[in-house]
């Protein structure tokens, strides 16, 4: 995609522009896309498909990929898929933005809800609505709040594949040992805090507890829901500024609640968590943690916890009941040279064959409601996940460009709070001003 003379640069590209000149040569060599393939014949089409990650050491994942590609080749023998894996989700967005500027973007890309706005709002993706109408595709197949993550009015920029609401995992064995009832649907912050106190074990004379009630990870996607539950937020409803929201009384109260968990030794400090190394939940160091559906895969492979001892429940609520949905889907780039073939691939990857296969892996919930519901009783945790989908809302990254920088500021702010370096109100006021500067607020 070439840049027209005098065209205004989108905000996210202006942000990256100083670094792009350094990266362009490497990006052109590393990412091939629509600008390539000029020697292709009409009979043979090559689609370059970008996603994050690389070769997997998981045999089940490799088997899944092989089965999917075999079925695709059977159905579309003249359309070759050239995968372009970008290792590390943190590198995915900047490398693809660089590729768009260089004109070397792929035909199809995985679009993650956490960064969807960087691509949708910069006019880099093709509206799929005409394809949907032409093929009479029934969009009611998908969960509405998942499908709408890639909508802008009447325009749809991706078909969803899989997703997860963030949930609270708990160790049944540790609850039983402490004589604490399992958390129930609709439990409150106070219920949660009391459970943490009873689950924390601090032997007399020990420098710190040997077991904690909760694992508080300094990962903004994992703790923003506490702010939402208390009626606060990180940004204004239109996503333009943070002052008055990130430093509002409701947000301050929520962050203080989390800081108090560490201050009261109900959750390990950041240094203790880092020293643990392995997953503190799987090792039994903590009784509860917040994570997504993907955590099931790691727990199944763990040698330190049995799946029979693992439970999940909706997040404890305060003023409102809410969680966040993280989703990935498939989008077609605006400069794609083979849009009809790319559409066939997007439909295939979000369609029943692939979705059934992928759901079996347990990484996420299929965005196809029928397929998801068909697996409701595949394991003891699945019904709870499915029943909480209706409380899920979009992450800010689906709506606001450069939100990754906002998350970085939030992480730094929370670190200052958790180590006791800065009082919560002061830290949030400073972070709000930094976010406003990042968003260009004068």
247 and 102, same domain (yes or no): no
Per-residue pLDDT, 22: 36
287 and 429, same domain (yes or no): yes
Cβ proximity of 286 and 267 under 8 Å: yes
193 and 83, same domain (yes or no): no
| 8 class by beta-carbon count within 10 Å (0-12 exposed, 13-18 middle, 19+ buried) | exposed
Per the domain annotation, does 4 fall within a domain? no
315 and 409, same domain (yes or no): yes
| 325 pLDDT more than 60 | yes
Per the domain annotation, does 3 fall within a domain? no
pTM over 0.85: yes
| 3 pLDDT more than 50 | no
> Which tokens sit at 85?
């894996």
147 and 243, same domain (yes or no): no
Pairing of β 159-165 and β 365-366? antiparallel
Per-residue pLDDT, 38: 43
Give pLDDT tens digits for 356-408: 999 999 999 999 999 999 999 999 999 999 999 999 999 999 999 989 999 99
H helices of 277-402, in order, are 280-283, 295-301, 339-349, 352-361, 369-374, 382-387
DSSP assignment string, 88-137: SHHHHHHHHHHHHHHT---SEEEEEGGGHHHHHTTT-B---HHHHHHHT-
Give pLDDT tens digits for 12-48: 444 443 343 334 333 433 444 444 444 444 468 999 9
What is the sign, positive or negative, of the torsion defined by CA atoms of 225, 227, 232, 233?
negative
Instruction: Count CA atoms within 13 Å of residue 279 on its CB side.
Output: 20
Per the domain annotation, does 226 fall within a domain? yes
Per-residue pLDDT, 57: 61
111 and 178, same domain (yes or no): no
The range of the structural domain enclosing residue 282 comes to: 167-324+399-438
Q: What is the mean predicted confidence (pLDDT) over 146-175?
A: 97
254 and 362, same domain (yes or no): no
Letter string b/e over residues 227-248, b meaning 16 or more CB atoms within 10 A of that residue's CB: bbbbbbbbbeeebebbbebbbb
80 and 132, same domain (yes or no): yes
| 191 class by beta-carbon count within 10 Å (0-12 exposed, 13-18 middle, 19+ buried) | middle
Give pLDDT tens digits for 75-107: 999 999 999 999 876 789 999 999 999 999 999
Per-residue pLDDT, 176: 98
Q: What is the mean predicted confidence (pLDDT) over 62-70?
A: 93
Q: How many residues does this entry show for the chain?
A: 442
Helix/strand/coil for 142: strand
418 and 353, same domain (yes or no): no
> Which tokens sit at 360?
């079996």
How far is the C-alpha of 344 from the C-alpha of 365, rounded, in Å?
Answer: 22
CATH number, position 359:
3.40.190.10
Per the domain annotation, does 2 fall within a domain? no
How far is the C-alpha of 160 from the C-alpha of 131, rounded, in Å?
Answer: 15
Per the domain annotation, does 304 fall within a domain? yes
Per the domain annotation, does 6 fall within a domain? no
51 and 160, same domain (yes or no): yes
Per the domain annotation, does 5 fall within a domain? no
| 278 pLDDT more than 60 | yes
Per the domain annotation, does 112 fall within a domain? yes
How far is the C-alpha of 368 from the C-alpha of 159, rounded, in Å?
Answer: 10
Per-residue pLDDT, 53: 73
| 164 pLDDT more than 50 | yes
Count how many domains the chain has: 2
120 and 229, same domain (yes or no): no
| 220 pLDDT more than 80 | yes
31 and 79, same domain (yes or no): yes
């Amino acid at each position: 995609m070439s840049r027209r003379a005098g065209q205004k640069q989108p905000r996210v590209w202006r942000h990256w522009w100083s670094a792009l000149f350094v990266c362009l040569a490497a990006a052109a060599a590393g990412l091939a896309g629509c600008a390539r393939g000029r020697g292709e014949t009409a009979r043979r089409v090559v689609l370059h498909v970008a996603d994050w990650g690389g070769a997997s050491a998981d045999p089940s994942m490799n088997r899944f990929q092989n089965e999917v590609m075999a079925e695709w080749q059977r159905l579309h023998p003249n359309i070759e898929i050239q995968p372009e894996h970008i290792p590390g989700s943190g590198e995915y967005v900047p490398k693809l933005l660089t590729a768009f500027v260089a004109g070397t973007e792929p035909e199809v890309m995985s679009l993650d809800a956490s960064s969807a706005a960087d691509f949708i709002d910069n006019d880099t993706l093709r509206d799929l609505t005409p394809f949907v109408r032409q093929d009479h595709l029934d969009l009611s197949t998908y969960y509405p709040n998942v499908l709408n993550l890639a909508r802008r009015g009447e325009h749809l920029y991706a078909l969803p594949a899989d997703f997860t609401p963030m949930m609270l995992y708990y160790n049944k064995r540790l609850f039983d040992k402490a004589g604490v009832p399992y958390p129930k649907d609709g439990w409150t912050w106070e219920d949660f805090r009391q459970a943490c106190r009873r689950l924390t074990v601090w032997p007399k004379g020990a420098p710190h507890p040997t077991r904690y009630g909760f694992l508080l990870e300094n990962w903004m996607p994992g703790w923003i829901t506490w702010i939402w539950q208390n009626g606060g937020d990180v940004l204004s409803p239109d996503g333009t500024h943070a002052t008055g929201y990130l430093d509002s009384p409701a947000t301050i109260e929520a962050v203080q609640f989390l800081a108090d968990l560490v201050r009261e030794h109900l959750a390990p400090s950041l240094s203790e968590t880092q020293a643990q190394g392995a997953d503190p939940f799987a090792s039994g160091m903590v009784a509860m943690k917040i994570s997504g559906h993907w955590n099931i895969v790691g727990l199944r492979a763990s040698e330190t916890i049995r799946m029979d001892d693992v439970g999940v429940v909706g997040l404890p609520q305060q003023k409102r009941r809410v969680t966040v949905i993280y989703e990935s889907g498939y989008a077609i780039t605006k400069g794609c040279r083979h849009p009809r073939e790319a559409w066939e691939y997007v439909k295939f990857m979000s369609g029943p064959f692939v979705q059934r296969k992928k759901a079996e892996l347990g990484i996420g919930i299929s965005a196809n409601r029928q397929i998801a519901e068909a697996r409701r009783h595949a394991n003891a945790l699945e019904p709870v996940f499915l029943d909480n989908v209706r409380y899920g809302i979009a992450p800010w990254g689906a709506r606001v460009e450069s939100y990754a920088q906002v998350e970085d500021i939030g992480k730094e702010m929370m670190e200052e709070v958790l180590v006791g370096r800065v009082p919560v109100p002061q830290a949030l006021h400073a972070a709000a001003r930094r976010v406003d500067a990042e968003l260009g607020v004068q």
